[in-house]
Structure 1
Amino acid sequence: MKRNIALVVWLPAIYLMISTGCHSRPQSTVANDTAQTTTAGPVDTASVEPAAVIPDGPTLYNVFICAATGDLNKDNISDSVVVMHDTTSTEQPYRLQVLFGRPDGQYQLVATSEKAILPDGGEGAHDAINLDSVLVSKGVLTVRISLLRGTAEYLYRYQNQRFELIGYSRDESDGQGMIVSEQYNLSTGRYIRTTEAYDGEDRPTEHTDTVIPIRPLPVMDTLVPFETYHAKYILF
């Protein structure tokens, strides 16, 4: 049974969690915000605070994947985003959590999603869709997904006391000489889709620029990637 808790952890525990069992890859930094992708490794549950390992029924998130830091709620205090992976279950889900920094140096858990990143197993798995990275920049949390021949990005902003999806983009080749680009601003409803050849062949192109309003905005906690459609388009 799920436990609804207000989790508070010490700052040193966050840093310990990020470094335990992982070797950092090169980091990309935007202003004072940081995207950090690391090599996955097992978490030492004896030395890590509950922010890193929160059993939820049969699910145990035992592998740290990546983390990012930056101010997400406009209080000039750095917040933390952590992605964990459960490799012990059949579905092998991922857990995305956001912890707000506090003036006293502690962190408080404010959002958790076990759906925003597709699992590695079970019915929701897809061999060609994988997590690329998480990024915090200018108050926006970006979850970047690697596709078979491209990338997709989900942009979340903390508003209305929750993380709402405000933007989605995708750039992907169809494997037959065409590339598809989509940009969807959910705040304004503007949706742009283009297809064009990248192999030098003379092929018909497509350009769609329309408004597709959506309210209420999707919430990170419950959003499942690639399951929302409008006409023939996958919106996000």
Structure 2
Amino acid sequence: MGVPANTLPDLQEPRFRALDKQLTRNRKGNIIYNTITKGQLQILEKNVDKEIKSLDYKHMLLTLRLTKKLAYVRGIQKSLKKQRERRFVEDSADLPFGVYGGRPLYSYRYEVDQIIKDKHPRVRRLKQVERYMANGKIRGRIIDEDDAKRQFKMIMDDFHKPRPTPRRESPLHGFTTKISRLKSDETMLSCYAMSSSGLKLPSITTRKDNFQKMKKCATLRLPEDKLPNIQGRQS
């Protein structure tokens, strides 16, 4: 007799249990391998970054001397150019020592140092900002500091200028109560109480007495000769 086609396999069979153990073992091995590989990769990245920084620093030290020498040479060239522009180009009896006046190169040391300082990136950025600010003031894009303070003072004075206070209408006296915008809550409540003082109801005892009098008047009967002639009034 054959096994039914729709019967599910038993997961507790030896072959399925062995397969599950093998899969679990492979998964744990892959996790351990990935963790070890990740740690090695991080160590390699740190070493590579350290080596790059070390090479950059060595390259900077090697090129620093050349950079200083190049800056000094360019400074000498600019100093000599200024010297030529100050003097006449052609030799004559007035210039027996030539265009440069017979000065040695080391005598231009101060001028070269000034040129190198002026070419510093920080100084160049500062000069550029000052140039932008000067152009902005000339073209009207930037307001002068004194003018800005003056305009700000005018705006603040206009803001704090005293304004007319609103008036509240009283039910008995009309527009008699003035209420300021800047009054405190207590002042507002006192003004409201003063304006509405004429609308207060009488006390409880007074109302009781008036009610008793009204009841007494309703129970009394006037004589017939004192009753008003309603028919005659209607005619």
**TM-score higher than 0.5 here?**
no
**Pairwise TM-score range, normalised by the shorter structure:** under 0.3
Larger RCO: 1 or 2 (CA < 8 Å, sep 6+): 1
More strand by share: 1
Question: Under a length normalisation based on structure 2, what TM-score does the superposition of the two structures give?
Answer: 0.14
Asked which structure has the greater CA Rg, the reply is: 2
Higher helix share: 2
TM-score by length of 1: 0.14
